[in-house]
Structure 1
Amino acid sequence: MDDNAPLLVQSANPDQLRELYAWLAEEPDLRGCVQVAEEEPAPGTMGAPVAALEIVLAGGKAIAALASAVVAWLHTRSGEVSIRLNRATKEIEVSAKGVKNLDSDGVADLTRQIVANLGTSDGG
């Protein structure tokens, strides 16, 4: 896989993507890497809904920073919050429900799983 292949973060709820975007914008290792991909606005509506977040990552360190930030963000969410992370042909879905009750070892394991799933073919 190309080390610079963009990663897409998607959710059924555009507001969740906006909140995640604000969270990721505060992450020093991800600043300038995250963009909002918007859909075309429906006729008669104001503003375009967020379709996805597009993240351009360079190498394993950035992927690890993203995975860690996403897990931390999900840990702060309540209710039904679920996001899909896609990079080239790889995809993983994570939810707040699955993260909320994890201990520190579980959080670390999930972060490693995300990195392994989305990293480069040689291990990121």
Structure 2
Amino acid sequence: MDVRVTDDADVAGAADETRSLLAWLTQEDELRGRVTPQERPPVPGTLGPVLDGLVVALGSGGAVTGLTTAVVAWIRSRHSDVTVKATRSDGASLEISTKLVGPMTPQELRAFVTDSSRLLEGGQGGQGGPGPDGGAL
């Protein structure tokens, strides 16, 4: 299963935020060698392609939980509002934002990571994500 990860940071900083997330994810043992940058062609008049997102090749087991945990940790480390959207190849997606996970307690974060990992594995589909109480947003 592949998951495409994008962020919705403002246009000027989107590539920088995506590069930061790429660096963060590649430091995780479970994700090492599974994360590939996805680029789009350069805009006319600019140099080089633009980093548009990341593709994460996920197998079974801890890779999905590792991805979810790493994305939540990365988002909580940001000083600005960001939203990361993970989309499975079947189109089902999950959005995780600073506003959502920032105020969560450690217990709520654990439940959120568990529920989000299940969603990415295909247990439930749909846009949004589990709320702090474990329900859909």
1:90 corresponds, among 67, 89, 92, to 92
1:114 corresponds, among 113, 116, 119, to 116
Deviation at 1:121, TM superposition (A): 4.6
Q: Which residue of 1 aligns with 2:4?
A: 8
Q: Which residue of 2 aligns with 1:101?
A: 103
Partner Cα distance (1:22, 1:118) in 2:
21
Q: Does 1:40 align with 2:36?
A: no
Letter in 1 for 2:75: L
Contact 1:6 1:55 in 2 (8 A): yes
Gaps of 5+ in 1: none
Partner Cα distance (1:6, 1:92) in 2:
14
Contact 1:76 1:100 in 2 (8 A): no
SS at match of 1:86: strand
What's the Cα RMSD here?
1.5
Q: Which residue of 2 aligns with 1:24?
A: 25
TM-score (norm 2): 0.80
How many residue pairs align between the two structures? Answer: 118
Letter in 1 for 2:4: L
Q: Percent identity?
A: 31
Q: Structure 2 matches for 1:47-66, cutoff 5 A?
A: 47-66=48-67
Letter in 1 for 2:59: A
SS at match of 2:36: strand
Deviation at 1:120, TM superposition (A): 3.8
Deviation at 1:27, TM superposition (A): 0.4
Contact 1:11 1:82 in 2 (8 A): yes
Contact 1:79 1:97 in 2 (8 A): no
**CA offset digits 1:31-68 (Å, max 9, x no partner):** 00000000001122112111110000111311011111
- Higher relative contact order structure (alpha carbons within 8 Å, sequence separation ≥ 6): 1
Partner Cα distance (1:65, 1:108) in 2:
12
Deviation at 1:89, TM superposition (A): 2.7
